[in-house]
Amino acid sequence: MNICLNCAGWVSLSKSSRKTTPRIFHRTRKIEAFIVISSREDPFEVCKESAMSADDRLSNEKKHGEFISEHGEEIWNWSSPAGRRRWARRCRLFKEFIGNTHSRVLEIGCGTGLFTEELARTDNTILAIDISEALIMKAKERVSSANVAFIVGNACETEFASGSLDFIVGSSSLHHLEVKSALKEFIRILKPGGGMMFTEPNMMNPQVALTKNVPFIKRRAGDSPDETAFSRWDIAEKLRRFGFVDVSVEPFDFLHPQTPARLLNLAERLTRRVEKTPLVREIAGSLIIRCRKDADVPKSGDIPLSF
């Protein structure tokens, strides 16, 4: 069976998989409790993977990076006609968010530099970090702009000074991290008033829910063992609890990467309308997350947190 997962969480099943599809959906009974979960419950707890140490998690992500460095296009699927449009839309949103303000921008989980290359077309300094040395090597081959610096490192424990960054951005990277550790670090290194934006898979999308919670599909889709997805209510609450303000988490992107080129214009118009339709919009493939650090927070002070 062939399964392809792109960065928005969409899964493409080949025709050869049809005979085994009933078996897959039989296994979804194990996650029935998640499918009917209310917005007041915590999907992070419901969908929690088996406990692993921080070192195990980092090791898994490094191994995943080596795999992605060779098979990224099979997993991400950005090169199809629909995939290119989805990539271009995200690039446009990121560049609108950071502007041309000679800012210091940290890109989380830069991968092979596909988004870094576009971020570099601004007047900002782009600091692109990834845990995988193999991916950073690929990114350096792609991007040689003078305003870009690549860093092999753990995004949850950076060496940046407190309050030293204007923006933090990332495409489908936050869900690979231990979220609380990541948000604690991001609020530390952002300047007061600094902005943060991620595009992430939406756990309310049925395909995403299956991929992130059914081990067989998760493995065949090319996921790392501990990556997950977010419900918009839960991630918004976490952001606020860590001190972020002006929090906005919106579902977006119904455009499937395997949409035939001849239907692409029509499909894009229809999916943009669906994104604005109440209730239905909640099962979009992705979330767009925007927030900022409170401008009144002292630059050098740590924010007290209680959990």
CATH number of the domain that residue 73 is part of: 3.40.50.150
Q: 305 lies in a domain? A: no
Burial group, residue 193, by CB count within 10 angstroms (0-12, 13-18, 19+)? middle
Q: What does the alpha-carbon distance between residue 138 and residue 112 come to, in Å, rounded to a whole number? A: 5
114, amino acid identity: L
Q: What does the alpha-carbon distance between residue 2 and residue 125 come to, in Å, rounded to a whole number? A: 40
pLDDT higher than 80, residue 48: no
Question: What average pLDDT does the segment 131-159 reach?
Answer: 96
Burial group, residue 16, by CB count within 10 angstroms (0-12, 13-18, 19+)? exposed
Query: Which residue has better confidence, 290 or 1?
Result: 290
pLDDT at 72: 66
Question: What average pLDDT does the segment 32-57 reach?
Answer: 46
Can you give the residue range of the structural domain that contains 228?
A: 3-293
- Residue 204 backbone phi and psi in degrees, to 5: -80, -10
Q: 264 lies in a domain? A: yes
- Least confident span in 31-35, 217-221, 226-230, 267-271: 31-35
pLDDT at 243: 96
- Least confident span in 90-104, 202-216, 289-303: 289-303
Q: 300 lies in a domain? A: no
Q: 307 lies in a domain? A: no
Burial group, residue 242, by CB count within 10 angstroms (0-12, 13-18, 19+)? buried
Q: What does the alpha-carbon distance between residue 90 and residue 77 come to, in Å, rounded to a whole number? A: 14
Q: What does the alpha-carbon distance between residue 67 and residue 45 come to, in Å, rounded to a whole number? A: 28
pLDDT band at 67 (very low <50, low <70, confident <90, very high): confident
Q: 71 lies in a domain? A: yes
Q: What is the pTM of this model?
A: 0.79
Q: What does the alpha-carbon distance between residue 57 and residue 214 come to, in Å, rounded to a whole number? A: 19
Question: Beta strands of 78-163 (E only): which ranges?
Answer: 104-108, 125-130, 148-152
Q: 103 lies in a domain? A: yes
Contact (CB, 8 A) for 220 and 21: no
Report the run of H or E that residue 4 belongs to, with start and end. strand 3-5
Q: What does the alpha-carbon distance between residue 186 and residue 199 come to, in Å, rounded to a whole number? A: 16
Q: 233 lies in a domain? A: yes
Q: 30 lies in a domain? A: yes
Q: What does the alpha-carbon distance between residue 168 and residue 186 come to, in Å, rounded to a whole number? A: 8
pLDDT tens digits, 5-29: 444 445 444 433 333 333 333 333 3
**β partners of residue 149:** 127
Q: What does the alpha-carbon distance between residue 256 and residue 295 come to, in Å, rounded to a whole number? A: 38
Number of domain units in the chain: 1
pLDDT band at 223 (very low <50, low <70, confident <90, very high): confident
pLDDT higher than 90, residue 81: no
Query: Which residue has better confidence, 104 or 46?
Result: 104
**β partners of residue 288:** 199, 250
